[in-house]
Amino acid sequence: MNQERSHSPTPVRQFTILLSTTRRGARLARRLTTAQLGGWGCRFTHAEHIVAELANNAALHGRTPGRNFRLTLTVTGATLRVEVTDTRGDLLPTARHARSDAESGRGLLLVEALASRWGTEVGPAPCKTVWAEIEG
């Protein structure tokens, strides 16, 4: 006897926007993340902090004059994936320990601590995407 099982697909929600590679664009990325996740009725602890760090890195280190960065939020089931794509694929981020008197340099350590996992994908040239996932 054959039985067919009805599998309901996992709902996927996605939001994508281009933002200027400026401090203002980075702030807007954080605010839009909070608003979009709230509109979807999703609560992912620390999502706005992760977006703030990745967007700030895109504005500071991924800046190419005249080019924007892209923020993508994807919710699949109980997982939020944050992607920030910039046009500096030649500069790959690494989590490093900053000197104790340094005023910056700890952002990816924060992402590493708050996210379930994170990484970098190169391409298409000249882009790179830094992503982080949060399990809800």
Q: What are the tens digits of pLDDT across the range 47-70?
A: 999 999 999 999 998 888 889 999
Convert the pLDDT of each residue in 4-34 to its tens digit. Answer: 555 556 779 999 999 999 999 999 999 999 9
The pTM score is 0.87
100 and 66 Cβ atoms separated by less than 8 Å: no
